[in-house]
Amino acid sequence: MLKWLEYIPFICIASLVRILPRALALNFGKRLGQLAQHLQSRRVSISRDNLQKAFPEMSHEEVSKTISSMFKHLGMSFIDMLRVDKYSGQKDLDRYFETSGEENLAEALELGRGCIILTAHLGFWEAGSFFLPTLGYNTEVVAKPMRNPKVDAYFSRMRESNGNQIINSKKGARGILRSLQKNHVVCILLDQHLKGKGSVAAPFFGRPAHTTTIITQMATRHQIPIVAAFSYRQPDSTYQCHFEKMLLLEGDLSEENILANTTLLNQLIEAGIRQDISQWFWLHRRWRPCCEE
């Protein structure tokens, strides 16, 4: 019953924004983000603490402005996620997406080992589920199933609508390796807290943050190329998508080297966030007290 109570308002919003013109739908998302900021005081507090520690030189006013921009952006991204299947074909690719550095992805795939696209909850992170298959790449994305199976099924349909496939993060390593062996592109968001076996406290914005080591170990052991890529929202609500140069992790699988390589991946994500700090998920508890003791 609870799952239905969650799903009904969700599907009502989804149905509404799907019939609206894109500009109106995104404007609705911006207002939704503003409303969420007023209703989510705890998340605002987390965002403020994260930003103040990451950028101690920022004034109180600058932090507040960044938080406001972030909530608007997240509201718009949520709406875009609800209607990502509306993007279709080369016409929408040319109209709404500007890509650069694609030669870096092509170079990585020439090795024949697949490619890990390292990304984060930055910009419109769901954009790759449209533009990568449209560009002709066999693409999978690693995703954690949502708690509500009906909501999860909806987003799965959106992510797969243009030919992208989903790898369940709970069965991640085996599925990822299988896809890479087919020389596919596998997209992985590496910016969420993960404590326990298979993680290390690696520096991120100058503070230790528990980060999974599965990707580090796999990429090091099998010499799988990693390409960092992020899709930034532009003022006109188009997206600028850039692929960084290919990275091959060096060294062995010692604890020291795993930490060093995981730190390197965190640095790539940090550099991406610094391009536009208002488009990252600052309201996530990325840093936990257990990491900073």
Residues 115, 185 contacting (CB under 8 angstroms): yes
β-strand pairing of 115-119 with 226-233: parallel
Q: How far is CA 186 from CA 90, 119, 148, 180, in A?
A: 22, 10, 25, 7
The pLDDT of residue 2 is above 80? no
CATH 3.40.1130 at 2-292, yes or no: yes
* Per-residue pLDDT band at 290 (split at 50, 70, 90): low
C-alpha distances (whole Å) from 174 to each of 140, 171, 186, 287 are: 13, 6, 12, 28
The model carries a pTM of 0.94
Least confident of 230-234, 249-253, 286-290: 286-290
pLDDT category, 6, cuts 50, 70, 90? confident
DSSP string, 223-255: T--EEEEEEEEPTTS-EEEEEPPPB---S-S-H
Q: Residue 78: is its pLDDT beyond 70?
A: yes
- Over residues 13-36, the mean pLDDT reads 96
Over the stretch 121-168, which tens digit does the pLDDT of each residue have? 999 999 999 999 999 999 999 998 988 999 999 999 999 999 999 999
**239 close to 124: Cβ distance less than 8 angstroms:** yes
Tens-place pLDDT, residues 240-254: 999 999 999 999 999
pLDDT value at 291 more than 60: no
Asked if residue 293 has pLDDT above 50, the reply is: no
- Strands 239-243 and 226-233 come out as antiparallel
Helix, strand, or coil here: 101? coil
The DSSP bridge pattern shows strands 115-119 and 185-189 to be parallel
User: CB under 8 Å to 230, separation ≥6 — which residues?
Assistant: 119, 120, 122, 123, 125, 241, 242, 272, 275
Res. 46: pLDDT tops 80 = yes
Average model confidence (pLDDT) across the chain: 94
Amino acid at 212: T
Phi, psi of 259 (to 5 degrees): -65, -45
pLDDT of residue 263 exceeding 80: yes
Inform me whether the pLDDT recorded for 289 exceeds 80.
Answer: no
Question: SS3 breakdown of the chain: % helix, strand, coil, rounded to 5?
Answer: 55, 20, 30
- Tell me the average pLDDT across 80-86: 95
Give residue 172's pLDDT band: very low, low, confident or very high (50, 70, 90).
confident
Adjacent-strand bridge partners of 229: 243
Question: d(Cα 284, Cα 161) in Å, to the nearest integer?
Answer: 28
Q: Amino acid identity of 243?
A: F
Q: Which whole number is the average pLDDT over 95-114? A: 97
Domain ranges of the chain: 2-292
Which secondary-structure segment (H or E) carries 151? helix 149-160
Check pLDDT > 90 for residue 195: no
Give the dihedral of Cα atoms 104, 106, 110, 116; nearest 10 deg. 70
- Which of 117-131, 171-185, 217-231, 250-264 is least confident? 171-185
